[in-house]
Each structure stands twice: as structure tokens, then as C-alpha cells.
Amino acid sequence: MKFIKITFLILILISLVGCEDQPKEVAPTKKVVKENVPKEIEKGVEVKPDLISNENVTEKLLAYGKENPETILDIYTTYGKLRVRLYKDTPLHRANFVMLAKKGFFKGSVFTRAVQHFIAQGGGTSKQEQVEVKKGIGSYTIPNEIKRNRIHKRGTLGAARGYLNNPDKRSDPYAFYFVEGMKYKKELLKHYEMQNNYTYNQTQIDYYTQNPGAAHIDGEHTVFGEIISGYSVVPKITVVETDSREWPRTDIFIDSVVVVK
């Protein structure tokens, strides 16, 4: 009997030792980091500049715009070349567009929406080259620079944006559009005033009742430039066959965007 008890105690001790061999979740230990010495510098790795975010976008784009003041750019597309002038009074959008052009983001991008008598929208891409450019720039939207004197006349350049959960009407940094537009009757303008809680001034009424434009998105999107030559490219794009999303069935490419001056 005594032998049996001793054997039983030995078995219990063996089982307890075996349990200690199993992995256990260990509370992380606090790392000791040298103060004011970034790891990249400590390891001799080059420190990359901060990416653009919603928190620093205004500061970053204003700084970039100061160093890159150009306003004239050529846009080469499947259907020909357009020359655009960017507005100085929309400095964030101007700087952003120049930056994307210089970094090569637009090269090989496509038009993603074509609507006759309305707009041709570009800047869409899924190519790895563009994905890498985005990674190197950051994830952000641009504060709106909507101005009364910048309306959606034919040939204007505007910034696309999301409507869901975007009360401040911040712009998509990569998507833009050119306006083809149509003429509006005064009754239709009154309809959009009620629908959008927006009041057209006399200058807008005079323009839209006599000239083509996109009056119904005034006050909703930032207009930051205009076509100064090559407008005929736009109606070539807006008449192409599209799918249910208004996406051209045959890709319309932007070969490049070149900063002129």
C-alpha cells in the first residue's frame, strides 16, 4: 500500500513538471528606447518624410505649393491634348494637382465616368505604379475651397468627392472632372436652389441661362482650374459608350500630365 502511495505522488510530480513545458502568454516587457534617437537614425536608415494625412494636409500642401508655383499643365489623353490653368485662389487643390503630375500619378490613369452634357471624370487607376505613388504620398482628403466666383462653367476643372459622411465637402485628392454642361432655364435653377439649399446670384443666373455649365453642383464641389485650349477633347469623351456605372466600356487613358509653367 505504501508503495502504491509513493508511486502516485511521483506521477503527480511528473505531470506538474510537464505542464510548465507548455507555452504561456507572457506580458510584454517594456522596451528601453534611447531618448530623441529615432530607430531609423540609430540603425543608419534614411528617414522618410511624413506622409500626408487629414491632420497635416493643409500644412503640407501649402508648403509644397510655395516651392512649386506652376499653374499651366498639359494633359495628354487618348483623344488629344488639353491645356489647363489652375487657380491661385484654390492653393491646396492647385498644389495637390501639380504634385500628382510631378510624381507621375496620372500617367496611365483612366477616365472613370463619362456623362453627355455633364462631365468627363478622370484620375482612376488600379495599376501598381499608381498604387505605389499613393503609398508614398499618404491617405487624405483635401479641405474644400468652394468659392462663389468659381462656378461650373463649360471647361472648368473640378475636384470629385464622396457624399457619404462628408459634411465638410472635402475633395478626393486623385479624382477630377471637366465640365461639358448644358443651359438651364430659370425654373430649373429655382428647383436646384430648393433641392440644394443654395441661392444663385445674378451672375450665375445670367451665365447658366445663356451658356452651358453644371449649375446643379455649384456649392458642392471645389472648382480649381479651367481648360484654356483643347476643350474639344471633352465632348469626345462624354459621348462614348458606358456601363451602368457610367464608366467607359473602352478605356480612355491619360498618357501623361506635364507641368508647363
Tens of pLDDT along 178-202?
Answer: 999 999 999 999 999 999 999 999 9
Query: Average pLDDT in the 9-35 region?
Result: 33
Residue 35 lies in a domain: no
Instruction: Report pLDDT for 80.
Output: 97
Residue 32 lies in a domain: no
Question: What is the number of structural domains in the chain?
Answer: 1
CA distance 18 to 160: 64
Query: Average pLDDT in the 7-27 region?
Result: 34
Q: Yes or no: say if 196 and 152 are a contact pair by the CB < 8 Å rule.
A: no
Residue 64 lies in a domain: yes
Residue 213 lies in a domain: yes
Report which of residues 231 and 47 the model is more confident about: 231
Q: Which residue carries 501598381 as its cell?
A: 128
Task: Calculate helix-pair angle for 91-102, 57-67, nearest 10 degrees.
Answer: 70
69 pLDDT band (50/70/90 cuts)? very high
Instruction: Report pLDDT for 13.
Output: 35
Residue 33 lies in a domain: no
Residues whose CB falls within 8 Å of the CB of residue 236, separated by 6 or more in sequence, listed in order: 79, 80
Instruction: Report pLDDT for 18.
Output: 38
- What CATH number is associated with residue 205? 2.40.100.10
Question: Got the DSSP string for 56-70?
Answer: THHHHHHHHHHH---
pTM attached to this predicted model: 0.80
Residues whose CB falls within 8 Å of the CB of residue 231, separated by 6 or more in sequence, listed in order: 82, 154, 155
Instruction: Report pLDDT for 116.
Output: 97
Residues whose CB falls within 8 Å of the CB of residue 141, separated by 6 or more in sequence, listed in order: 54, 57, 161, 166, 170, 171, 172, 173
Query: Average pLDDT in the 32-51 region?
Result: 47
pLDDT, the chain, mean: 85
48 pLDDT band (50/70/90 cuts)? low
Residue 42 lies in a domain: no
Q: Decide: helix, strand or coil at residue 33.
A: coil
* Residue 258 burial (C-beta neighbours within 10 Å; 0-12, 13-18, 19+): middle
20 pLDDT band (50/70/90 cuts)? very low
Instruction: Report pLDDT for 33.
Output: 33
Report which of residues 115 and 21 the model is more confident about: 115
Residue 141 lies in a domain: yes
Out of 92-96, 130-134, 140-144, 236-240, which region has the weakest mean confidence (pLDDT)? 130-134
Extended beta strands in the chain, E state: 72-77, 80-86, 109-115, 119-124, 156-159, 176-179, 223-229, 253-259
Q: Which residue carries 496620372 as its cell?
A: 106
Tens of pLDDT along 125-173?
Answer: 868 888 899 999 999 999 999 999 999 999 999 999 999 999 999 999 9
Residue 258: φ, ψ to 5°: -110, 125
Q: Which domain holds residue 143?
A: 57-259
Report which of residues 128 and 48 the model is more confident about: 128
217 pLDDT band (50/70/90 cuts)? very high
Instruction: Report pLDDT for 248.
Output: 97
